[in-house]
Amino acid sequence: MLKNRFFWIAAIAGLIIDRVTKLIVVKTMALTIPPQEIQVIPGVLHWVYVVNYGAAFGILAGSPILRWLSLIASVALMAWAWFGRRMARWEQWGYGLILSGALGNGIDRFVLGHVVDFIKVPFVYVPYPNPFPRFVWIQFPIFNFADIFINLGIICLLIGIYRTPDPPKNSN
């Protein structure tokens, strides 16, 4: 049986979802200024084809370090899952999802020189505590499924910290 199989399932499934959705966006939407916007759920969820030459929020835009960081992180995660210990189930899901995101955006950086982003949540309602608790609307950056999977992977790892470990397999 394959060691850390949930890691590999999460990594492969996430990468396929990321690559297919980006391919659909690139083939069906024009890269325009201002960007073309399709309202999937008006006011809640829109598709907007844009490119990002940096990391989150455009950090390190144009720097070649991002492509190499994603490659190193991807190789390290795969080596750890293959040669390392059997991980707990939440760790497998978490690291597998993080790998799918790192590979998805890394492939974009190596092949295209930028990352394809297309998911837009026009405004997010967040609590604002000062001076009295109230809510404000903020404009959230445009992102893709690779970004979602990286964040879901982190959430899985946080859940795994607070969960009891998987019971050891009976060797009989």
Active site amino acids: 117, 147
Q: Contact at 8 Å (CB) between 117 and 30?
A: no
Q: CA-CA distances (angstroms) from residue 156 to 19, 108, 116, 162?
A: 22, 25, 25, 10
Strand 115-120: give its sheet, edge to edge: 37-41, 45-52, 115-120
Task: Count the neighbouring beta carbons within 10 Å of the beta carbon of residue 30.
Answer: 8
